[in-house]
Structure 1
C-alpha cells in the first residue's frame, strides 16, 4: 500500500452582505471536505474497495485527504467527479496526535 494525496473541488460562494467573512470561507471549505469524504466512502462501498483502503485522513490547513491504499484504488479514483487530483505522496505523513 502507498500513500496518496487526493484533492477535491471547492466552489466558494460569496455571501449576500458586503463581504464573505473568514468564518464563512472556513465553513464552506469544511462542507466541501465533508462532501468529498462522503462521496469517497460511497464510491469505495459501491465498488467493493473498502478492504484496499487502510486510512482516510483530512490534511490540516489544506484542501485534501491523505489515503493509504493500493495503486488500483488510486487509478479508479482518477476519473471521479469528486477528485480534482490524486498523486502519490512521497513524504511521510504524521496524523495529528489529538482528534476532536
Structure 2
C-alpha cells in the first residue's frame, strides 16, 4: 500500500554497500501528507504511539518507524473504503 503514495523507500545494493533512498517517482504532496499524517497520529493515538515506540526501541530510525505507522494508517483507510464503513474505535481496539 505504501507504493500507492510514494512512501515506500527504494533500496540500492552494490557489493558491500546498501543505500536506502526516497522514491523519486512519487506524488510528492501525497507522500508528504501521509508522512505528516503518521507524525501527528503518533501523538494522540495509543496504537500508533505503541507501534512507533516499539520500532524505536528495536533500533529503527525515526523515518522507518513513521513509515510503519503510515502503513497501518493506510491499511485502516483502505479497509474503511473497501467495506464502506466509518472508523469505529471500539472495533479497532479488538482487532
TM range (shorter): 0.3 to 0.5
How does the TM-score come out when normalised to structure 2? 0.34
Question: Higher strand proportion, which one?
Answer: 1
Higher relative contact order (CA 8 A, sep 6+): 1
